[in-house]
Amino acid sequence: MFFEGSIDVKKTKMLTEGALLAAVFGIFVLVLSYVPLIGPVAIFFLILPFLIFCSKYPLKYLIVFSAACLFISMLAGTTALLPFALLYGGTGFVMGYCIQLKKSKLFIYLASSLTFLAGLIIGLFVSIKFFHLNIINENLKQLRESVNQSRTMLEQFGQQSSIENLNKMADSMVSLYQIYLPSFLLLFSFLAVFVLMAVNFPVAKRLGVPVPKWSPYREFRLPKSVLWYYVICLVLSMFIETDASSFLSKAVMNLLLIFEILVLMQGFSLINFYSYEKKWPKVFFVMAVIFAIIFSPLLYLVMILGIIDIGFDFRRYIRK
């Protein structure tokens, strides 16, 4: 939404605000580059200039603003920070433009998370292709080095049985890392964007950006088709071997994990809905989540509730 007034006033205001926000972005990049203690905090606010500017002005100006910010990031920092600028700038761009289009907060969250995920994947590809840096292999290398250090310490103390358990645990961790890496990237993207929205939306709201609100969690509902996809993945998982080198196996295992998390969210949403309908204190739902996480077998019960709610619209009977 472009503010009212003459064309000259509009352009002047836009240029002034764009220059100011681009300068703020440059300051964040400088802090991230050269201030060790505060730098990690600055990364949470890299999307803020994009979020503010992109929520107000037409698309053609947003592209120019984004290009200017990327150029400033190269001047203020180093080329090593360019992927961060692209990742967080692109996410802020999508957030702001979705706000301008008056999309719901859930839509903004999903679109921004997928943008963040795409940025991560592109960043991994670029680092491998052009900088010959495989972050995945580096993480595995660090994991193996930590295991070797622990093994050396156990050998010094003569804990042979503990070494065997450590070796099994290490092999299991490496296998899980290789199998569930796509899910880890997806979950990390959604978690990162959730934190970014929680940090930046209140600030943007104070600066006049009309950020939308979340719908109550008790209204969270998954389509019934999710249940069929979950069942299909569950059946397939029974007939394939868990092999990190098999594409089909990794695909099924990752999809199964994602659907299990979604069903779990549906189950918690049902508990929240039930406590709301019964007018129980909000602390009941909080305690239910904490107990389910602490006593992990309860998570299976929550998943069953989620499956029932998706398939049979359990909330309709609760209202009666």
Same domain, 129 and 223: no
CB 277 within 8 A of CB 202: no
Q: Beta-carbon neighbour count of residue 23 at 10 Å?
A: 14
Over residues 91-97, mean pLDDT: 93
Choose the weakest-confidence range: 69-78, 260-269, 288-297. Answer: 69-78
Query: Which domain range does residue 116 map to?
Result: 7-135
Provide the number of structural domains found in the chain: 2
141 belongs to a structural domain:
no
Report yes or no on 175 lying in a domain: no
- Whole-model pTM: value is 0.84
pLDDT value for 158: 62
How do the residues of the chain divide into helix, strand and coil, expressed in percent and rounded to 5? 80, 0, 20
Q: Which of 135, 165, 180 is the last residue of a domain?
A: 135
Whether residue 205 is contained in a domain is answered as no
Asked, for residue 182, whether it belongs to a domain, the answer is: no
Q: Are 26 and 123 in a shared domain? A: yes
Mean pLDDT along residues 125-132: 75
Phi/psi for 177 (5° steps) reads -60, -45
Tell me if 81 is assigned to some domain.
yes
When comparing pLDDT for 319 and 225, which is higher? 225
pLDDT at 163: 65
Which secondary structure element, helix H or strand E, spans residue 136, and what is its range? Answer: helix 135-156
* Among 135, 165, 184, residue at a domain's last position: 135
Best CA proximity match to 237, nearest among 214, 216, 253, 221: 253
Tell me whether residue 158 is in a domain.
no
**CA gyration radius for the chain?**
24
What sign results for the dihedral spanned by CA atoms 87, 88, 89, 90? positive
Which residues have C-beta within 8 Å of that of residue 93, sequence separation ≥ 6? 50, 54, 62, 66
User: Are residues 124 and 229 located together in one domain of the fold?
Assistant: no
pLDDT-based confidence at residue 115 (cuts at 50, 70, 90): very high
pLDDT at 144 over 80: no
Which of 120, 135, 150 corresponds to the end of one domain? 135
**Mean pLDDT of the chain, nearest integer:** 84
